[in-house]
Amino acid sequence: MMNINIGTYLADVEASLTDLSRHDVVGRMWRKDHTVWKPEPSEITNRLGWLTITDLMSEQVPALESFAREVREASFRHVVLLGMGGSSLGPEVLRQTFGSATGYPKLIVLDSTVPAWVQAVTEAIDPAHTLFLVSSKSGTTTEPLALFQYFRGLVNSAIGKEKAGQNFVAITDPGTPLARLAAEQGFHRIFLNPPDIGGRYSVLSYFGLVPAALIGVDITALLDRAKGMREGCASGVPIHENRGAWLGTCISTLALHGRDKLTLITSPAISSFGLWVEQLIAESTGKEGKGIIPVVGEPLVESAYYGDDRLFICLHLEGDDNSATDTAIERIQSSGQPVLTLEMRDRYDLGAEFFRWEFATAVAGAILGIHPFNQPNVQETKEATERVLQEYTATGRLPQVEAADSVADLMAEAGKGKYLAIMAYVRQTPEVDKVLTDFRRKVVERHHIATTLGYGPRFLHSTGQLHKGGPDTGLFLQITAEHEKELPIPGKPYTFGVVADAQALGDLQALKSLGRRVTRIHFSRGNTTAISRPANKLT
């Protein structure tokens, strides 16, 4: 169910839906007609497999459940997923939403090169009794391959090199370097995903369902809910009743009217959903100087502090403790802000929401006139990072960073339509989360602008595309810190700390080269809680 309270924008949305119907956009999507988005088919016709993936995955349910039993019987206590972006965010949502069923191993998602984060996972597991999922569509992604080399060394030491391959599983496309590596090193299993699905649209494929099965999620129920939503988005459904088309039309039409800060508010039990939808929207729409800015996890404030560039969407889970969110939504709606509410019966309706938001994002791309399946600006940071690592390899030193402006100087540029992007290259902990959440609240209350938060390098595979390819309305605050401990990467002339620092520097250089307004704050070793200082300066 969708409750729509968008006031004067309703007529514009209705007109957009009528236009979609006139041009048969939904029917052409299902026929995989690339001209819905662009004249050329590149990265479109071979990226639409998500539309029908639930049929194929339903056939694989018995095999996935059998594999999960096999893993349980082998006494694996942990499953550690090594991935980035599309291969890690969906599983992280499923992990946080469902947890592990009784008797199933605990899932840990590791999508960071920050040494403290890698060390925390190392200390939490017994390598001998841990199954590692190396997850990468391209099979060439730097971070999971480096993490594989590191953990392979630990498993070698724990059970011997001859047996170590049995503690690893690959999830990748056919014919990738990772698929070849897995075969050569005797991985326990190789799951080859259909290659016509992009990473951020892959949660209902092997990339999301293998880890889900391993922690005891009822993947049949998840897929059935997704199929129900797919039927509600079919080409034969009248456009004004199409559940995905409605959502996509709302978010894109309001964005064209200046309300491009899509602010997601969720029931507490499904709060992690924002991690996944943030990447889907940011990486799909943030290009060609356009884009919808997803705002997730932002603390709720009084309605008077919100600007007129917002669209609020509430994901409401029946039976959850919704008192705080319901009160907030009521206040926001009473203030005249546009609000959509999506109702979920239970947690398994996540399957439906995964499909609804994928479909909606594709529709939004058609209305905005952008290509929703590529990520052209992500490569800029990768290339900049590679240059930094090459310099380190040649000189033994990372390049010097130019003196940055202060936070006060950055915030002096806050104004109508702007947003602050906090990019934290530190380990995520409850303490750091609290400090940065307080910081975000102060920014909203003082400057009346939206805020986003991403932990690096995770966000480089998510909102990083929007930062560089989207509208030039962002104010960027990069936060880095000295590493308390360095961890070597087997076979490389540098450590995880050097990689994390190179990624931060590469991102900084890419943003500066595009003329983005960016400030960097660097903290001394063991002093990440000092992040609170810039927040205090704003009060």
Identify the CA nearest to 113 among candidates 479, 473, 496, 408: 496
Task: Provide the pLDDT for residue 424.
Answer: 96
Task: Provide the pLDDT for residue 158.
Answer: 97
pLDDT of 118 above 50: yes
Residue 412 CB partners (closer than 8 Å, separation 6+): none
| Phi, psi torsion values for 141, nearest 5 degrees | -60, 130
Residue 416 CB partners (closer than 8 Å, separation 6+): 307, 309
Helical H runs in 461-537?
Answer: 464-469, 496-513, 532-537
> Would strands 310-317 and 78-82 be described as parallel, antiparallel, or unpaired?
unpaired
In tens, the pLDDT along 275-324 reads: 999 999 999 999 999 999 999 999 999 999 999 999 999 999 999 999 99
* Least confident interval from 138-147, 280-289, 526-535: 526-535
For the chain, report the end-to-end CA distance as a whole number of angstroms: 41
pLDDT of 537 above 70: no
CA-based radius of gyration for the chain: 22
Q: Is the peptide bond before 457 cis (omega within 30 degrees of 0)?
A: yes
Task: Provide the pLDDT for residue 175.
Answer: 97
Quick one: tokens of 72? Answer: 């349980």
Indicate the SS3 state at residue 437. helix
**Residue labelled with tokens 């007109």:** 15
In tens, the pLDDT along 359-414 reads: 999 999 999 999 999 999 887 777 888 888 999 999 999 988 775 678 999 999 99
Distances (CA, A) of 321 to 312, 315, 326, 331, 532: 19, 13, 9, 18, 30
Task: Provide the pLDDT for residue 293.
Answer: 98
Tell me how many helices (H) and strands (E) the chain has.
19, 14
Question: 115-124 vs 496-513: helix axis angle to the nearest 10?
Answer: 140
**Residue labelled with tokens 């050329």:** 40
Domains of the chain: 2-31+235-368 (3.40.50.10490), 50-217 (3.40.50.10490), 378-537 (3.40.50.10490)
Residue 403 CB partners (closer than 8 Å, separation 6+): none
Residue 340 buriedness (CB in 10 A; 0-12 / 13-18 / 19+): buried
pLDDT of 171 above 80: yes
> Would strands 130-135 and 474-481 be described as parallel, antiparallel, or unpaired?
unpaired
Global confidence as pTM = 0.96
Distances (CA, A) of 63 to 107, 213, 270, 373: 20, 10, 28, 30
Quick one: tokens of 228? Answer: 């129900």
pLDDT of 526 above 60: no
Task: Provide the pLDDT for residue 384.
Answer: 81
The CA angle 258-260-266, to the nearest 5 degrees, is 140
* pLDDT, mean over the chain: 94
Q: What is the mean pLDDT of residues 488-501?
A: 94
Indicate the SS3 state at residue 20. helix
- How far, in Å, CA of 200 to CA of 278, rounded? 10
Identify the CA nearest to 437 among candidates 244, 267, 271: 271
Contact 113, 457 (CB under 8 A): yes
| Count of C-beta atoms within a 10 Å radius of residue 131 | 21
- How far, in Å, CA of 205 to CA of 193, rounded? 7
Does an H or E element contain 58, and which?
helix 53-73
Identify the CA nearest to 300 among candidates 246, 258, 337: 337
pLDDT of 443 above 90: yes
In tens, the pLDDT along 333-353 reads: 999 999 999 999 999 999 999
What share of the chain in percent tops pLDDT 90?
A: 90
**Residue labelled with tokens 């002093």:** 527
Residue 271 CB partners (closer than 8 Å, separation 6+): 96, 297
Task: Provide the pLDDT for residue 538.
Answer: 46
pLDDT of 186 above 90: yes
Contact 468, 515 (CB under 8 A): no
- Split at pLDDT 50, 70, 90, the class of 248 is very high
Identify the CA nearest to 115 among candidates 423, 539, 503, 420: 503
Residue 41 CB partners (closer than 8 Å, separation 6+): 34
* Least confident interval from 222-236, 377-391, 410-424: 377-391
- How far, in Å, CA of 2 to CA of 382, rounded? 39
pLDDT of 539 above 50: no
- How far, in Å, CA of 150 to CA of 339, rounded? 46
Q: What is the DSSP string of 213-232?
A: HHTT--HHHHHHHHHHHHHH
Question: 89-98 vs 350-368: helix axis angle to the nearest 10?
Answer: 150
- Split at pLDDT 50, 70, 90, the class of 532 is low
Q: What is the mean pLDDT of residues 429-440?
A: 94
- Split at pLDDT 50, 70, 90, the class of 536 is low
pLDDT of 177 above 80: yes
pLDDT of 35 above 70: yes
Task: Provide the pLDDT for residue 84.
Answer: 93
Identify the CA nearest to 97 among candidates 317, 427, 343: 317
| Count of C-beta atoms within a 10 Å radius of residue 329 | 22
The CA angle 400-404-410, to the nearest 5 degrees, is 155
Identify the CA nearest to 367 among candidates 458, 468, 254: 254
